[in-house]
Amino acid sequence: MSTPDPLEPESSRNTADRPLVDPESLPDERTAEAALRPQTLSELIGQERVREQLELVLQAARRRGRAPDHVLLAGPPGLGKTTLALIIAAEMNAPLRVTSGPALQHAGDLAAILSGIGEGEVLFVDEIHRMSRPAEELLYMAMEDFRVDIIVGKGPGATAIPLQIPPFTLAGATTRTGLLPGPLRDRFGFTAQLEFYEPAELRRIVDRSAGLLGVRIDGSGADEIATRSRGTPRIANRLLRRVRDFAEVRAHGEVTLEVAQQALALYEVDALGLDRLDQAVLQALCSRFAGGPVGLGTLAVAVGEERETVEEVAEPFLVRQGFLIRTPRGRVATPQAWSHVGLTPAAQAATLPWE
């Protein structure tokens, strides 16, 4: 029997009727993550507003017998932008082509993809904000007029050969909407802004993933993983796999509250979901720099990480949780951060720089 295509719609299959995934069939993290992705909108947990909006867009397109409008998927990493692109293709019963912004550095790179695209296909461009300007300009015409101009030759003798392409749907994913040029943003017919998940939604995701992976887990264990997942399904699934490893090796295979707590402590994820980097940033900010303000570069050197890693990986969660504040003079620890690391606020931290 042939293996089903993961992009094929599964609306006719009930999730409860699916066999459990054999853990041995998941040889690496990427395969495991792909196996846990929902395949249809009905399987998608959370993002109720986006799901309803997208369902209307897709249903209307199906009734008209046309490709849906171009879709921009925006939001922090790990919230399901790639999953939604897969779902769009599955719901439309259309092939999916996948590329990324950094791979499209020349107009010819994009032209090669568009010249071979079929009618109704979905083109998914991850990190679309990192495309080069020549590729962006070519994409404008393709999105609006379904046409691209292929430049042949150089200099005064160069000629443009127009190439018609069939109607398709562009699904672009970005973590930084502000970096997209206005003309590109305006050509998307629908923008899905993904939000962080609530603990109850993450609990449902953990339960679903545990069932697919064949993990025995009780309610308290699932709750513990959900509350430490930073509002992000990708992190919830990753923590579940690590807790599963711990349970299989040291706890007879069952994930309970105690097992989950021991496993997450081993992997340096604290009760609020802060990992090693988060804790190192707070510890350095409070113990070495008296709570700040301190520049991002200095803070990055203090924790032994790249500036971009601290800014894009650690800071968003710390700011959202109220541990850290960005000011014109630098990063400042809040009273909550001092309390979390178990230190007494320094005298100069009593008056914050914006007060």
Active-site hit among 37, 187, 230, 234 = 234
Q: Which of 37, 81, 97, 241 is catalytic?
A: 81
Burial of 342 (0-12, 13-18, 19+ CB in 10 A): exposed
Q: Return the bridge partners of 254, or none.
A: 216
Q: Of the listed 83, 169, 174, 175, which one is catalytic?
A: 175
Residue 200: Cβ within 10 Å count: 11
Measured distance CA(282)–CA(352) in Å, rounded: 16
The single residue of 82, 83, 169, 334 carrying the catalytic annotation is 82
Q: Which of 37, 83, 97, 126 is catalytic?
A: 126
**Per-residue burial over 294-318, b = 16 or more CB atoms within 10 Å of its CB, e = otherwise:** beeeebbebbebeeeebbebbbbbb
256 is catalytic: no
Give the H/E segment covering residue 32.
helix 29-35
Active site residue 15: no
**Gap between the Cα atoms of 32 and 264, Å rounded:** 19
| C-alpha to C-alpha distances, 178 to 74, 230, 251, nearest whole angstrom | 10, 23, 47
> How far are the Cα atoms of 74, 185, 197, 311, 334 from residue 176, in angstroms, in the given order?
7, 12, 19, 13, 26
Catalytic, 5? Answer: no
To 10 degrees, what angle do helices 48-64 and 81-91 make?
A: 30
In 3D space, the residue among 231, 236, 235 whose CA is nearest the CA of residue 210 turns out to be 236
Q: Is 154 one of the catalytic residues? A: no
The angle subtended at Cα 314 by Cα 309 and Cα 318, nearest 5°, is 155
To the query of whether residue 83 is one of the catalytic residues in this protein, the response is: no
What does R_g of the chain's alpha carbons equal in angstroms?
Answer: 24
> Where in the sequence numbering do the catalytic residues fall?
81-82, 126, 175, 234
